Structure formats: C-alpha cells, structure tokens
C-alpha cells in the first residue's frame, strides 16, 4: 500500500513535469535553436559577402596563395566546415580542408559569385562556396542560456525532490503508521493507536483514528461483556436451549441441554437434530416442520427425543426464528422441555377418563371413542361390527335391599366372569349403572354376537352369593350390527339399546337382534309422551272408578280410582303404557296429583248421589309420588271436600316396600295417624314377603288377579296350588288383622271359590268395569228405580 501511494504521487509529479515543464523547456530550446540558426545564416551571408569582395583581385590575378590565405581565414571562424573557391575558367580551385568531417545531420552550403571591378566594369571571376553544419538544441545555446537551463532543471529537480520527501514525511510516514496500527489490530486482535501528532489533516486523521480505536475498544469490551453475559444466561437458564440452522444442523446447545440429554457439546454440534428424534416419530416431526407456515416466527411441536444413554423422553419443542436481511443464515432459538412426566400423567388421566373405576372396563366416553375406531377398522377390513348392549335385570333390587356396596360387588363379579368369555380384539365397557356394551368384529357378526350373548346369560344360571343371601339376576341383551342396522356410531349404540329395551319389555333374560319394527315401538313411546304432555295441558286425564263389593251379598264397599287418558280423536288409551312411560319420564307425579283431585271430586259426587257416606276410595300411588309433603297435601284435599280420612285407602305395591326406604315407612305411618287405611296391592307376585305385614301398617291385602284366574284355568294341579296359595294368604292376612280383597273376579265360579275360603271383598269385571262417575250414578239411579218398581 505504501509503494502504491508513493508511486502514484511520483506519477502525478512526473505527469505535471511532462505536461507543464517539458513543453516549456522544449519550446525554449526550439526558439534558441531557431535564433542560433538565423544568426549562423546571417554570419555566413556576411562572411560570403566580405570574402567574395576580398577574393576579387586575387582571383583576377590568379594569386592562388592569397586565395588560400583568404580560404584559411574563412575556415578559421569555426562556423564553416569547408570552403571551396573556383574561378570561372576552372584554372584555379581551392578547397579547404581537403577531407572535412561530415556531421550526422549533414552540411548546408551557400555560394556567392566573386566579382571584380575592372576598368570595363564588374566581372564575375569565380565563385566561393561555404559548407556549414546544422545547429542542435544544445549547441545553439549560449552560455547564459545554458546557465538558465541548468538553473531551471536544478530547480525542477529540487521541487520534485522536496515534494517526494514532503510526501514521504507528511503523508507516507503517517500512513505507514496507520497501516501498521491497522495490521497489528487485525493480526493481534487488540486495538493499536497511531503515534503521530501534527496540526494538519494527517494529524486529525490520526487523532480521529485513535479516538475511533478507543471507542471500538470500549464497544468491544461491552460486546464481550454482553456476549459473556448472554452465554452465561444461555447456559444458566434452567431450560434445554439449542439452535439449528436452515439445514437442521445444531449450531449451539446450552449446558442444561447437555446435562438433561447426556451428550457432550462436541458430539452434537454440526449434527442434524432430526437424527436424534425417535425413528417412529421422526417422519411426523419432519412433516410438521415442512408444513410450518412461511414467515411463522413461533413454531412448536411434541415429539420423542433419544438421549445419549438411549433413553427416550417426550419433549415439547418451541422454536423461535427470524429472517435477517443480507445474511445467509436466519436466527433460530429453540426451547426443548421434557414432558415425559406430563405425557405419562396425560396418559393416566386419559385412561382414568375413559375407564370405569369400579370394574376396570372402559366407561361411556372411552367406549364411544373405541366405537368410532372399530367402525373405521370394520370399513378398512370390509367386515361387520356387532354392538351388544347389556342391562342386568333386577339389579336395582340388590342396591335397594342389600346396599350399593353389594351392588358394586355384583358388578365386579360379573365383569370377572365376563372378560374370559370375550373373543380377542373385542371391546367391553360399562356405560353406567348396570348397563354394559361389547363390540365384536367378525365376518359373521350376528352369529358371533348371539354366541357371546348365550355365554353371558349362562353366567346368571347360578345365583350370586352376597352377604349370605343368594341373589338371582339375569341379563337383557340388545344386538345391533354395522353396517346392516346402522351407518354410524351413535345410531349403532342407539339401536342396540333399543333392542335391549325391547328384550327387557318382552320378558328379559336373553338377547334380541335389532329389527326395524322396534322403531315402531319407539315412535309409539314418543307418541305416548306427547299424549301425556297434551293431556296434562288440556285436561284429558280422567279418574275412573271400579267398585269393590262385599263377597257375601255384593254390596258396594268402596271404589278403586283408576287413571284413564281420554284423547279427543283416539278415545280412551290403554293405561298400562301411559303409566310406564309416565314413571320413566317423571310425569307420573303430575298425573297422580290430577287424578287424586278428580277421584276425590268423584267420591263427593257419588256420596251426594247415593247418600252412602261409608264407601271408601282406594287411591294408587307411584313410588315417585312418595314425598314428605304427601300426607299433608292429602289431608288438605280431603278437608276441603269434607271427606273423612277413614274413607281413604292408600294402595301401595310390593315394589315400593322392597326399597325398605325409611321415608316410605314414615309417610305410611303419617297416613295411619291421619286416619287413612293402607292396602297392599298385587300381593303374591314378585318378591312377596310376609314380613311386610309385620313391618308396615297394612290394613288390606289385595290378592293378585293372576292367582284368582288360576283358580279356574289351567291344569288341575295348578288350580290346586293356586287355591292353596290364595287360601293361605287369606288365612294369614286375617290372622294379622287385615281384610282381604280378591282382584280380577270374572266368573261366578271364582266368586264362589274366594268367598268359600274367606275373602272379604272382591273386585273384577263380574261386578263392574272401571267407568266414569256419571255412569255409576246413572246405574245407581236405575237400580233404585228398579227396586221401587219391584216393590
């Protein structure tokens, strides 16, 4: 660099000399040469003229010696190189010198005739010719001019030398110092200063450079401090930090990252991060990274990372990247968090969320997810999927009588016996309560489902032993097939549930495959629900009354209130379906309250029409209606209508007593204290227990009509057993101080039999059907008129 600056300076000086000085010097020499040439020619002309005149007489006289003297004089001047004198006749010829030196530039010549003045006048007697050389630049200079030229050249050279020396001292030297400082800074990495002080531009340049170096030193210290602190923060941060480039190569890792993964920094720098992702998760990781949005600054994903010891941990990676202009590489910083424990916790929570804690099977949520997966699996394999919906029959009795702990034990025992029966690949779940579901994949799904159902039903062939009590259960199973019966998961589960309820209503204990006709019963149920809702809103419900007579003389002793729904278009609807649906939906409470008030009004109307205030009203109550305020409400209703409490009979079923609910016992005692009587309806069916007569305040026993019907129907052996049972119930009831009502008497033979073994009262179509109070009043009036006529 130094030589380059100096050479450039010399080139500039040389250029200035050649442009300015040399042309002037050349012009000066040219002018001097021209001047000397003119002076030489003038001298030659004078010399020729003078000598031509002097040679006139010697040439006329043929005085060769004089001619030679004159020729020698001409030569001696130094300017003439050769002189040649000839006469006109050719007799005299003088040439001096005989062998002259010819210059390189050649000779010039000038001639002049020699004239002599004779008496006769001027005559040309000969000629003189002189030869002289051309003047060169330097030869033409005079001494003064040569001195001026020498002084000029010396001055120019002195100026150039001073400029070169000044350039070296004032420019090159500080530049060399500046260059040395820069080179030292570059090589040694430290900031070197320029040792130069002057009040010119170079001094200010050196001062500015030194100030810049000082500032850069300060900035470098700050940068080093910031870098050191950033590295310390990077490594001290309790997180696994790392950076990667655009080729997915690791460019930096924190100490915490190395500590957590077990790698050394030398092992990982420059390697691909994706190579340390577990093989089964690598493609998903790379795919998600490729699919990230362009310009997306924050990107995150979860994957599996392989540690140095081979341990695989679940990690959450959050990458922050930024594109920097004019840089080949973008900035990237990633945080890797070990979420193995969180994943395990999520897995546990997921298992808990989809697992029934009591049985260990899937719960409803898990089953619904599995159902979608199994449907997808069935579609992929082009096979069938069977859904079994299982409901345990009479399970509620165990909870109500033996407690929920016993019920839980039953469920555990059932699942323990169920699981070995299931084919491989099947899915079982507890949907809630005593409801279970099973999924079976098979080419012949219906046959497989029926076979599994038979084995499940066989579980209940033997009773379950609970707290020393043998409890018999059964299972109602509904089967629906995909895709034969349903096109999606919800529909498949709903139709298997529908098939199960159809089996439960049709007799329980067995399996039923879904049939499209079952949809009709579902629609019928929905229709009944709409009828109930409209009936309550439009007051379509009526309280029919069926007389209860004394079996000895047929005298009406009371009336049972029975619910009827009188639809404006469909007429009277069967009460059984309405009661079942109402109890399931909970609307039985509103219906019961409506019927109770109408039945009490009807009793008042009958009393006023017949004048008989001794007949009683039997009112049926659903278990759902038994609430603490029921006795007070009945007391208020009867008091408002001036009906004595003893005229009210509360009919309850054995199912209500099965619960052994303290609230039921308390309400019954309140009814007794109020003055009402208690009747136990449908006695002899279900789980009849004579202990009810001792534990509850029962006044009337109503023998179920199935026993009465069997007294005259069927095989003799059956008639005999039915007779013994009915007679035994009557005898025990009388011994307990209870009256006995025989239900469902439809023939005189039945009347006679029950009267003979001591039944007190009877009820059935033989005496009267349930009817409106207006019909009863009209019938009573007709009998009165008939008696009057006979009398």
- Indicate which residues carry an active-site annotation: 434
Q: By the 8 A CB rule, do 248 and 282 touch? A: no
Sort strands 700-703 and 677-683 into parallel, antiparallel or unpaired: parallel
Residues 303, 750: Cα–Cα separation, whole Å: 82
Q: By the 8 A CB rule, do 563 and 576 touch? A: no
Residues 55, 43: Cα–Cα separation, whole Å: 18
Residues 781, 787: Cα–Cα separation, whole Å: 10
The torsion defined by the Cα of 214, 220, 226 and 228, in degrees rounded to 10, comes to -130
CA 16 vs CA 3, 20, 149: distances in Å? 19, 6, 18
Residues 327, 304: Cα–Cα separation, whole Å: 32
Task: Tell me whether residue 310 is exposed, middle or buried, using C-beta atoms within 10 angstroms of its C-beta: 0 to 12, 13 to 18, 19 or more.
Answer: exposed
Sort strands 312-322 and 298-306 into parallel, antiparallel or unpaired: antiparallel
Largest CA distance in the chain: 235
Residues 605, 548: Cα–Cα separation, whole Å: 17
Q: Which helix (H) or strand (E) holds 13?
A: helix 2-16
Other CB atoms within a 10 A radius of the CB of residue 288 amount to 14
Beta strand segments in 307-412, E: 312-322, 331-338, 384-393
Q: Is the peptide bond before 97 cis (omega within 30 degrees of 0)?
A: yes
Residues 260, 340: Cα–Cα separation, whole Å: 13
The angle, 0 to 180 degrees and rounded to 10, between the axes of the packed helices 404-418 and 395-402 is: 140
Residues 443, 644: Cα–Cα separation, whole Å: 70
Start-to-end CA distance of the chain, whole Å, equals: 158
Q: Is the peptide bond before 258 cis (omega within 30 degrees of 0)?
A: no
3-state secondary structure of 444: coil
Sort strands 464-466 and 331-338 into parallel, antiparallel or unpaired: unpaired
Residues 557, 554: Cα–Cα separation, whole Å: 9
Residues 616, 560: Cα–Cα separation, whole Å: 8
CA 407 vs CA 364, 470, 663: distances in Å? 19, 13, 21
Instruction: Give the neighbor-by-neighbor strand order of the sheet with 435-442.
Output: 427-432, 435-442, 384-393, 474-482, 510-513
DSSP state of 624: G
CA 754 vs CA 550, 616, 662, 704, 747: distances in Å? 12, 22, 35, 12, 11
Beta strand segments in 374-529, E: 384-393, 427-432, 435-442, 464-466, 469-471, 474-482, 510-513
Residues 1, 338: Cα–Cα separation, whole Å: 59
Residues 468, 70: Cα–Cα separation, whole Å: 183
Residue from 545, 567, 565 nearest 556 by CA: 545
Task: Tell me whether residue 294 is exposed, middle or buried, using C-beta atoms within 10 angstroms of its C-beta: 0 to 12, 13 to 18, 19 or more.
Answer: exposed
Residue from 235, 237, 238, 242 nearest 332 by CA: 242
């Amino acid at each position: 660099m130094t030589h380059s600056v100096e050479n450039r300076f010399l080139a500039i000086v040389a250029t200035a000399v050649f442009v300015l000085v040399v042309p002037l010097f050349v012009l000066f020499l040219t002018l001097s040469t021209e001047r000397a040439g003119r002076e030489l020619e003038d001298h030659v002309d004078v010399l020729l003229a003078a000598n031509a005149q002097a040679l006139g007489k010697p040439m006329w006289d043929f005085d060769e010696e004089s001619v030679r003297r004159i020729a020698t004089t001409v030569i001696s001047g130094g300017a003439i190189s050769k002189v040649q004198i000839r006469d006109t006749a050719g007799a005299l010829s003088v040439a001096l010198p005989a062998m002259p030196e010819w210059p390189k530039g050649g000779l010039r010549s000038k001639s002049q005739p020699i004239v002599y003045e004779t008496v006769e006048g001027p005559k040309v007697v000969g000629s003189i010719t002189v030869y002289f050389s051309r003047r060169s630049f330097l030869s033409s200079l005079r001494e003064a001019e040569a001195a001026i030229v020498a002084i000029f050249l010396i001055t120019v050279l002195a100026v150039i030398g001073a400029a070169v020396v000044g350039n070296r001292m004032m420019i090159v030297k500080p530049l060399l110092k500046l260059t040395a400082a820069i080179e030292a800074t570059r090589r040694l990495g430290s900031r070197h200063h320029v040792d130069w002080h002057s009040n010119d531009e170079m001094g200010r340049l050196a001062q500015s450079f030194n100030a810049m170096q000082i500032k850069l030193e300060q900035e470098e210290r700050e940068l080093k401090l910031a870098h050191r602190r950033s590295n310390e923060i990077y490594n001290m941060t309790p997180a696994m930090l790392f950076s990667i480039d655009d080729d997915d190569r690791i460019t930096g890792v924190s100490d915490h990252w190395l500590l957590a993964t077990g790698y050394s920094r030398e092992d990982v720098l420059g390697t691909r991060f994706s190579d340390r992702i577990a093989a089964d998760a690598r493609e998903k990781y790379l795919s998600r990274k490729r699919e990230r949005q362009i310009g997306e600054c924050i990107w995150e994903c979860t994957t599996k990372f392989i540690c140095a010891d081979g341990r695989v941990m679940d990690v959450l990676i959050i990458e922050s990247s930024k594109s920097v202009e004019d840089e080949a590489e973008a900035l990237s910083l990633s945080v890797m968090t070990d979420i193995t424990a969180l994943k395990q916790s999520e897995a546990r929570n997921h298992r808990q969320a989809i697992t029934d804690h009591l049985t260990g099977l899937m719960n409803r949520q898990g089953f619904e997810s599995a159902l979608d997966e199994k449907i997808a699996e069935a579609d992929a394999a082009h096979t069938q999927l069977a859904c079994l919906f299982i409901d345990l029959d009479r399970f509620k009795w165990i909870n109500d009588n033996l407690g929920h702990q016993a019920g839980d034990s039953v469920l555990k025992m059932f699942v323990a016996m169920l699981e070995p029966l299931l084919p491989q690949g099947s899915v079982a779940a507890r949907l809630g309560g005593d409801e279970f579901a099973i999924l079976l994949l098979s080419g012949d799904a219906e046959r497989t489902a029926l076979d599994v159902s038979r084995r499940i039903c066989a579980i209940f062939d033997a009773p379950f032993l609970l707290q020393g009590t043998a409890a018999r259960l059964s299972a109602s199973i509904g089967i629906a097939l995909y895709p034969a019966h349903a096109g999606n998961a919800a529909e498949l589960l709903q139709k298997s549930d529908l098939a199960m309820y159809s089996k439960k209503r049709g007799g329980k204990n067995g399996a039923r495959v879904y049939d499209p006709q079952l949809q009709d019963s579902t629609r019928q149920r929905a229709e009944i629900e709409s009828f109930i809702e409209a009936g309550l809103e439009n007051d379509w419900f009526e309280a029919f009354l069926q007389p209860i007579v004394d079996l000895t003389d047929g005298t009406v002793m009371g009336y049972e209130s029975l619910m009827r729904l009188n639809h404006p278009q469909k007429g009277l609807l069967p009460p059984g379906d309405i009661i079942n649906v109402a109890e399931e939906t909970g609307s039985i409470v509103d219906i019961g309250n409506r019927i109770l008030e109408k039945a009490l009004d009807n009793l008042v109307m009958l009393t006023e029409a017949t004048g008989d205030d001794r007949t009683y009203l039997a009112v049926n109550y659903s278990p759902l209606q038994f609430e603490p305020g029921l006795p007070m409400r009945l007391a208020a209703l009867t008091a408002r209508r001036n009906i004595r409490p003893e005229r009210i009979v509360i009919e309850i079923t054995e199912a209500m007593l099965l619960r052994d609910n303290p609230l039921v016992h308390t309400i019954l005692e309140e009814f007794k204290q109020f003055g009402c009587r208690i009747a136990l309806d449908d006695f002899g069916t279900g789980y009849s227990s004579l202990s009810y007569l001792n534990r509850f305040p029962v006044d009337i026993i109503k023998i179920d009509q199935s026993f009465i019907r069997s007294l005259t129907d069927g095989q003799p052996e059956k008639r005999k057993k039915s007779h013994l049972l009915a007679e035994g119930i009557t005898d025990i009831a009388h011994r307990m101080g209870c009256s006995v009502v025989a239900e469902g008497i439809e023939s005189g033979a039945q009347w006679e039999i029950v009267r003979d073994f001591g039944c007190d009262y009877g009820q059935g179509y033989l005496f009267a059907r349930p009817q409106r109070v207006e019909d009863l009043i009209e019938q009573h009036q007709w009998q009165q008129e008939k008696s009057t006529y006979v009398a």
